[in-house]
Amino acid sequence: MNQDYVLELFFSLKGDLNKINAVIDEKMKRIQTRKITTFEKFILSRIAANPKVLRMVNMEITAAEAAYLSLYPDLKEVEVLDLRQNYLGDEGLEVLVKSPILKNLQELDLRSNQITRLGLERMAGVDNLVHLKKADFRSNRLGQRWETKLKESAFYPELEEVRTV
């Protein structure tokens, strides 16, 4: 299950989150992972408290759940996304930075998410997060040179701070 799958569901089910959740829950039931509806309830409770900040630290979030987040319409106002200590990997990073919803992000914290240079190479060419000011990738498998590469990228004109080590 990836972003394309979730996007296909979104369009085929005409954006009906209840139907989308039911399909995803059924698919995840077979592989013994948590229900997406439980995940959604957690997202909604966090967004209700503050629609500009979403902190989901150490929740075992995978790339598939990141794909779901990347298309979740209630996140359109989120400016701070903190997904430290999860299992996003390069694929999870890619779906987040390409999200049509998360365009207002100013701060992105993805420390300890098994991200490699491949993930940042994919991110470096995406112009979706033009308001991004801070990005934290510490405790991943990255070198310090990525701090300079992302800051110098024309795709992130407002980026002031990048941390990789």
Task: Supply the pLDDT for residue 2.
Answer: 72
* Cα–Cα distance, 82 to 73 (Å, whole number): 18
**Sign of the torsion formed by the C-alpha atoms of 98, 134, 46 and 85:** positive
Domains along the sequence of the chain with CATH: 50-163 (3.80.10.10)
Is 0.75 surpassed by the pTM of this model? Answer: yes
pLDDT above 80 (res 52): yes
* Cα–Cα distance, 164 to 111 (Å, whole number): 8
pLDDT above 60 (res 33): no
For 11-31, the pLDDT digits (tens) are: 898 878 788 878 877 777 665
Task: Supply the pLDDT for residue 53.
Answer: 97
